[in-house]
Structure 1
């Protein structure tokens, strides 16, 4: 299948690599030309100078960039993705964005005869590199059915949640749950340290009980050791939680824990920890 992939960051680069290895005819675009050239040198395929050029003639175009504004920057305009796509082609957005943007893109794509689904992912850089992401999709059933076999190149679980916007709302819930676990672990570790418990033994014991979680098994020890130079950046979690709070406001509800933790991330970013793993939130407890 002829495909295009826009955005070759820590997530998009490995995801596009899996598509190339799967035997698809792939053209990529990245605003940093050197990164795109390095990707082609490693994986093969072709590189385009604009999103429109990459999208030209593609059956499916996938993008994975930073935020709502970044998506609009590569989708719209004379050099944007929609300008290059053929009628009937499918646009898949893997970026974590607002559900409102997903609904906006669905309408914009429809106006030029293009189909659209929102498909944010979970699993982090390791999941992207290992082809083991969870893909949460919102879109029409027929469009999702066409995309699923392709997305399986890097998605161990590829699931439709409902109409356009449902994937983004599912990702919001995902981030709320992740942050709840991280904050709980941070506070638990603070108590454990003050009480003089052996952290390695503690984590081993907790992992065998009801407190078990991916965050506990993969992040508790690094949190306790003060290691944050990897993983999902605090600045991106702050962006995601802000989207969650905006959606909560639209739904007429309050998310008190998320409000508290998102404020902590805002302060950490100001203190220079924006590029650290999101578990750096433990620093706000003085740990």
Structure 2
């Protein structure tokens, strides 16, 4: 069992840290809103600290799961950042979806300071985090990954190293690119079924067993048909991720026409007031805007 610090107790991080505690690890947490960290310790034990530096002191592994590039820099760098508290040989595992640029920056800083850095973005949504069944895609030095993988296993269905530093973030971009097109396609199919006077649930019962089936279809069609989007991965965060995908696509010369289009569709959803709705709210754009 390891001494672990977990930084960022949002909808994903809170249950992930809980799985670490349940697996027997010695877990110390930090969250920007201290009340959430206090609630976590009441539920799971362990300890809470007022800064990332203090949470990271003495830890073998420091897990981060925050919002974006700036959030990640703020919890890693500076006098109160995790890097200032980490001991030589410790490993930081970042579960945030961020740019390859900030990953390269922090990897270099970590190596210079004498500890490891693994970029390990996640997929599987809130349910995956709560059930300990996340897909974890990793980049970094092989030895650091090999050391961290047994700890990550507490909340992973699958955990794989895809290559050197940044490969995990690049793989997460592939994940978001694939999801964008799938959700739009599902939204159009359900919208079409409704306009055609078909029973959407019966339609999905049939087509989900064939080539059209997907995780999005199985897990989101009922809430989409019910006009219920108060759950899951927020549109605002998806736009952040797709922006990273599109910027990186420009840098590496990858053509992403569907991703660019769906990103604009999500912008329409934001204009409808749906920035915090689940990403399946793309169907709402069709019903509201046509």
Q: What range describes the TM-score normalised by the shorter chain of this pair?
A: over 0.9
CA-CA distance at 1:221 after TM superposition: 2.3
Give the distance between the partners of 2:64 and 2:16, measured in 1 at CA.
10
Matched with 1:150 is 151
Matched with 2:117 is 116
* SS of equivalent residue, structure 2 residue 154: coil
Matched with 1:207 is 208
Give the distance between the partners of 2:211 and 2:271, measured in 1 at CA.
35
1:196 has 2:197 as partner: yes
Q: RMSD over aligned Cα, in angstroms?
A: 0.9
Matched with 2:219 is 218
Matched with 1:88 is 89
CA-CA distance at 1:286 after TM superposition: 2.6
Give the distance between the partners of 1:269 and 1:85, measured in 2 at CA.
39
Give the distance between the partners of 2:56 and 2:179, measured in 1 at CA.
34
Give the distance between the partners of 1:271 and 1:187, measured in 2 at CA.
18
Listed as ranges, the matches of 1:1-287 within 5 Å are: 1-286=2-287
Structure 1 segments (4+ residues) deviating >3 Å: none
* Gap runs ≥5 in structure 1: none
* SS of equivalent residue, structure 1 residue 286: helix
Deviates more, 1:252-261 or 1:89-98: 252-261
CA-CA distance at 1:254 after TM superposition: 2.3
1:62-86 Cα deviation digits (max 9, x unpaired): 0000001100010000000000001
Give the distance between the partners of 2:32 and 2:157, measured in 1 at CA.
28
CA-CA distance at 1:102 after TM superposition: 1.1
* SS of equivalent residue, structure 1 residue 280: helix
CA-CA distance at 1:178 after TM superposition: 1.0
* SS of equivalent residue, structure 1 residue 160: strand
CA-CA distance at 1:225 after TM superposition: 2.0
Give the distance between the partners of 1:111 and 1:164, measured in 2 at CA.
14
Give the distance between the partners of 1:34 and 1:245, measured in 2 at CA.
36
TM-score by length of 1: 0.98
CA-CA distance at 1:180 after TM superposition: 1.0
CA-CA distance at 1:18 after TM superposition: 0.5
1:47-98 Cα deviation digits (max 9, x unpaired): 0110000000101100000001100010000000000001111000000011
CA-CA distance at 1:152 after TM superposition: 0.3
* SS of equivalent residue, structure 1 residue 153: helix
CA-CA distance at 1:249 after TM superposition: 0.6
Give the distance between the partners of 1:141 and 1:114, measured in 2 at CA.
13
Deviates more, 1:186-195 or 1:230-239: 186-195
Give the distance between the partners of 1:183 and 1:265, measured in 2 at CA.
10
1:244-274 Cα deviation digits (max 9, x unpaired): 0011011122211111111121232233111
Give the distance between the partners of 2:10 and 2:137, measured in 1 at CA.
19
TM-score by length of 2: 0.97
Give the distance between the partners of 1:5 and 1:221, measured in 2 at CA.
34
Give the distance between the partners of 1:247 and 1:12, measured in 2 at CA.
26
CA-CA distance at 1:214 after TM superposition: 0.7
CA-CA distance at 1:203 after TM superposition: 0.4
